[in-house]
Structure 1
């Protein structure tokens, strides 16, 4: 059984609650990803996505350099522990329709992040990661 700690990305960049959305966007650009954890000290308290920035700030006509991460971040973050089985991590991604899960210790401190791509790189889990991605990409039938 392989655990998330064996495949996760360590040394993850994150934003703080009072940093601007411009800062978050620059982190996303620099690490080539679409979401960044938001932390208070090293404790994960939210996630911010490129979509959050566009929909909740730019589309509203706001200046991304004047809006803080806490204003648009998702508060209910799905996390896992370093000892979570990779199969369980893939199931969580599919269930919650997310592509990245912060990996935290018992106190909620950020230890790494596991992305759908990390799962896909494990040949034994390609089918499972593919199914998770398929489920993630399904349109939300409750949205209009």
Structure 2
């Protein structure tokens, strides 16, 4: 059985809740990613921050990216998948919540991230069209 741990990108970098959105954007650029998990000082996952969040909720709203903290953009409880959950459950979670990336946790600790690219590389006979239809917003 293939699990989330088998296909995830390990060692996902976090942006801290008290870091500015400007710092998060610099971190994203440096890592070449469009999203980062938001973690508290307790290392627990608080949410996800995307480049789109920064553009729409901060820049387009005329807010100062140095003054807005990443934690302010964390919305509710983050949708996650367990590291030892199988691919079927991962796909179901992504489809149900229409997610393109899911943080992977082991207990309460963030251990990685699964993105669409990870799925396409690891599924034996991927039908990318079905996956995209299942998780894409209308």
Q: How many residues align?
A: 137
Tell me which residue corresponds to 1:14.
14
Tell me which residue corresponds to 2:46.
45
- Counterpart secondary structure, 2:124: helix
1:47-99 Cα deviation digits (max 9, x unpaired): 11111111111111111111101112223211011111012112211111111
RMSD after superposition? 1.5
Tell me which residue corresponds to 2:112.
112
- Whether the 8 Å CA contact 1:120–1:130 is kept in 2: the answer is no
- Whether the 8 Å CA contact 2:46–2:74 is kept in 1: the answer is no
Q: How does 1:1-144 map to 2 (within 5 A)?
A: 1-40=1-40, 41-106=42-107, 108-127=108-127, 129-139=128-138
TM-score (norm 1): 0.87
Between the aligned partners of 2:79 and 2:125, the Cα distance in structure 1 is 21
Between the aligned partners of 1:30 and 1:125, the Cα distance in structure 2 is 33
TM-score (norm 2): 0.90
Between the aligned partners of 2:77 and 2:34, the Cα distance in structure 1 is 17
- Counterpart secondary structure, 1:102: strand
5+ long unaligned stretches in structure 1: 140-144
